[in-house]
């Protein structure tokens, strides 16, 4: 099956009304895309950020006439629309289309992260099988890659690990594959826990990873605590997260823009001896040892 895909640029005030109108006249899906280069890093919980210049993209079945759709929209919105584009979108195996962009990745010469069917089995390495799914975290983003590099560079033998804000569970799964005795994965999103449990099964370690919503997690101290979230929640939760680290245990923080590192470090230095930030692109990792 093929589809008509129409897109048009507008501002953040018109975009929601335009999206609703596309749906009213028969669009099967409507999405927003940044029309420029203005990334949004930290929306509030439940908040949808719309860029000042937004492309609104609508998908219609072939029975619709693209010219009539455009005419109807322009009649409804007298101004504020520009840069119309049209494309006939051919059907494909969408669930596998990501494979053109997601290839095996190696961290610290010890850990492979691979999509299904492309597993690597080099001597002296471990392979984590992971496909994009319901929750964030495949290793392609610098925030996750920085944590995977840390894990693959340290001896995790028989360690207990907490993955705070687990997303897909990639860090918890990697820790166990690299030798940790067990990992405890926490996230506010039930879909993240579903993804973590599925990835634990896919990697044959379901009995060594336990998942929790925050309200169901009873705090305890672990040898290694990973928190790959964002700067503001890292700062707000600094006392709670620091408290999860056992004396002389390791703390790894990520999801931090380079310019945010001093503020995050300040929140943790009362309890954690942090090293210098480790940077990748616009992002950095902070890691250190819990003071005795």
pLDDT at 36: 72
Give residues with Cβ within 8 angstroms of 141, minimum separation 6: none
pLDDT at 90: 79
Average pLDDT over residues 241-249: 98
Residue 237 pLDDT greater than 70, yes or no: yes
Q: Which among 236, 264, 270 is positioned nearest to 252, based on CA atoms?
A: 264
Residue 252 pLDDT greater than 80, yes or no: yes
Mean pLDDT score across all residues of the chain: 90
pLDDT at 50: 72
- Of the two residues 68 and 140, the one the predictor is more confident about is 68
Please write the tens of the pLDDT for every residue from 47-60. Answer: 666 778 899 999 99
Strand, coil or helix: 116? coil
- C-alpha 253/C-alpha 213 separation (Å) is 20
Structure-block tokens of residue 7: 């897109």
Q: Which among 167, 164, 135 is positioned nearest to 224, based on CA atoms?
A: 164
pTM score: 0.75
Are 138 and 132 spatial neighbours (Cβ–Cβ below 8 Å)? yes
């Amino acid at each position: 099956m093929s589809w008509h895909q129409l897109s048009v640029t507008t501002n953040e005030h018109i975009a929601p009304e335009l999206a609703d109108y596309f749906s009213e006249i028969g669009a099967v899906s409507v999405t927003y895309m940044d029309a420029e280069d203005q990334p949004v890093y930290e929306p509030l919980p439940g908040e949808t950020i719309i860029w000042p210049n937004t492309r609104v993209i609508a998908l219609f079945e072939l029975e619709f006439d693209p010219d009539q759709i455009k005419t109807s929209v322009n009649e409804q919105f007298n101004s504020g629309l520009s840069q119309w584009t049209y494309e006939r979108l051919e059907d494909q195996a969408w669930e596998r289309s990501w494979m053109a962009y997601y290839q095996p990745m190696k961290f610290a010469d010890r850990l492979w992260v691979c999509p299904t069917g492309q597993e690597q089995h080099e001597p002296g390495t471990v392979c984590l099988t992971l496909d994009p799914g319901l929750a964030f975290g495949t290793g392609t983003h610098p925030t996750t890659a920085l944590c995977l590099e840390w894990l693959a560079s340290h001896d995790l033998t028989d360690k207990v690990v907490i993955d705070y804000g687990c997303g897909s569970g990639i860090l918890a799964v990697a820790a166990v594959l690299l030798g940790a005795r067990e990992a405890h994965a926490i996230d506010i999103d039930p879909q993240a826990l579903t993804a973590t449990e599925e990835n634990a099964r896919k990697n044959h370690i379901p009995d060594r990873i336990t998942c929790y919503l925050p309200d169901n997690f009873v705090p305890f101290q672990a040898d290694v605590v990973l928190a790959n979230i964002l700067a503001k929640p890292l700062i707000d939760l600094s006392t709670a997260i620091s408290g999860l680290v056992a004396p002389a245990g390791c703390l790894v923080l990520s999801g931090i823009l380079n310019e945010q590192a001093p503020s995050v470090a300040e929140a943790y230095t009362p309890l954690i001896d942090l090293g210098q930030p480790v940077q990748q692109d616009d992002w950095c990792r902070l890691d250190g040892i819990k003071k005795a």
